[in-house]
Amino acid sequence: MSPRLTLITAARILRQLRHDRRTIAMIIVIPTVLLTLLRYLFDDQPFVFDRIGLVMLGVFPLVIMFLLTSVAMLRERTSGTLERLLTTPIGKADILFGYGLAFAVAAAVQGVIASVLAYWLLGLDTLGAQWLVVLLAIGNAVLGVALGLFFSAFANSEFQAVQFMPAVVLPQALLCGLFGPREEMASWLKAISDVLPMTYAVEALQEVGRSVDPTGTMWRDVAIIVGCILVALAAGAATLRRRTA
């Protein structure tokens, strides 16, 4: 793996994004619109927005980035550019981490804007530090990036790729503790929930929401999220095949 090739690949992907103004606009607008809807849905229950809005600050970017990267990677494969790249000196990990890095930049922009909106315009209130929430929102989005890149390997068409979103992300959203405490789930459901990365992403946000200082649980969750990101990217690189039939 070469840091130089990873960086120039990330720069190339950002350049591609820059030419696609509408996608950039959607990356920024979609989470902000959804958060605004949520805020006014619970207009007379600000505490509910503080709880759900906070978690959604992580979930929306994760979902959006998952979709974007799985389609972007699929395009790289189906357009023949991946085959060509694999005949050049670039390594498979350079390609995957280049994608991860480029979309992490997009995720950072998205995370900052969505968080700023949630705090200053929508009146989100958390006990913990705001910068931690921004960081976790970005971390969630990058987790979406890594999962999207990995699952894209199992899709042969855009039709299949977009369906990995409900297949991979929705079960995690159902079991992450958003719709009720995980402690109250049937033990087998909780066992599944224990091995899903989004569980820890949501838990970390909830921790910031209810404690003034960063907790040990939150840092453990952050470590798990970072671990999952690295494993998913490495596994994604391992699924790329230089030789195909």
Partner 1 sequence: MEHAVEVRDLEVRRGTNAVLHGFNCTIAKGAVTGLLGPSGSGKTTLLRCIVGVQKIQSGTVHVFGEPAGSPNLRRRMGYMTQAPSVYADLTVRENARYFASLYGVGAKQADAAVTDVGLGDAATQLVGTLSGGQRARASLACALVSSPELLVLDEPTVGQDPVLRNELWDRFRALAAAGTTIIVSSHVMDEASRCDRLLLIRAGDLIADDPPAAVRATAGTEDLDEAFLRLVLARDEQKAGAH
Q: Is the Cβ of residue 85 or residue 122 nearer to partner 1 in the bound state?
A: 85
DSSP 75-97: HHHHTSHHHHHTTSS--HHHHHH
Q: Buried b / exposed e across 6-21, counting CB within 10 Å, b at 16+?
A: beebbeebeeebeeee
Position 12 contacts partner 1 (CB under 8 A): yes
User: Residue 158 interacts with partner 1 (CB under 8 A)?
Assistant: no
State which of residues 5, 54, 55, 102 lies at the interface with partner 1 (CB under 8 A): 5
Closest CB to partner 1 among residues 8, 112: 8
Which positions ≥6 away from 75 have C-beta within 8 Å?
none
Nearer to partner 1, 210 or 242 (CB): 242
Say whether residue 85 binds partner 1 (CB under 8 A).
Answer: yes
Binder of partner 1 out of 30, 71, 86, 234 (CB under 8 A): 86
Is residue 90 within the footprint of partner 1 (CB under 8 A)?
yes
Residue with Cβ nearer partner 1 (11 or 224):
11
Assess 210 for contact with partner 1 (CB under 8 A): no
When binding is defined by CB under 8 A, the residue of 41, 83, 127, 194 that contacts partner 1 is 83
Nearer to partner 1, 122 or 149 (CB): 149
- The region of 55-63, 75-83, 130-138, 190-198 touching partner 1 under the rule CB under 8 A is 75-83
| Of residues 231, 15, 9, the one with CA closest to residue 98 | 9
Burial 183-210 (b: 16+ CB within 10 A, else e): eebeeeebeebeebbbbbbbbbbbbbbe
Question: What contacts 232, CB < 8 A, 6 or more positions away?
Answer: 143, 146, 147, 149, 150
Distance CA 192, CA 172 (A): 9
244 binds partner 1 (CB under 8 A): yes
Q: For 17-44, give the secondary structure using H, E and C.
A: HHCCHHHHHHHHHHHHHHHHHHHHHCCC
Kindly state the tokens that stand for 145. 């990036």
Cβ distance to partner 1 smaller for residue 9 or 140: 9
Stretch that binds partner 1, among 12-20, 53-61, 112-120, 182-190 (CB under 8 A): 12-20
157: contact with partner 1 by CB under 8 A: no
- Residue 79 interacting with partner 1 (CB under 8 A): yes
Which residues are near partner 1 by CB under 8 A?
5, 8-9, 12, 15-16, 19-20, 79-81, 83-90, 242-245
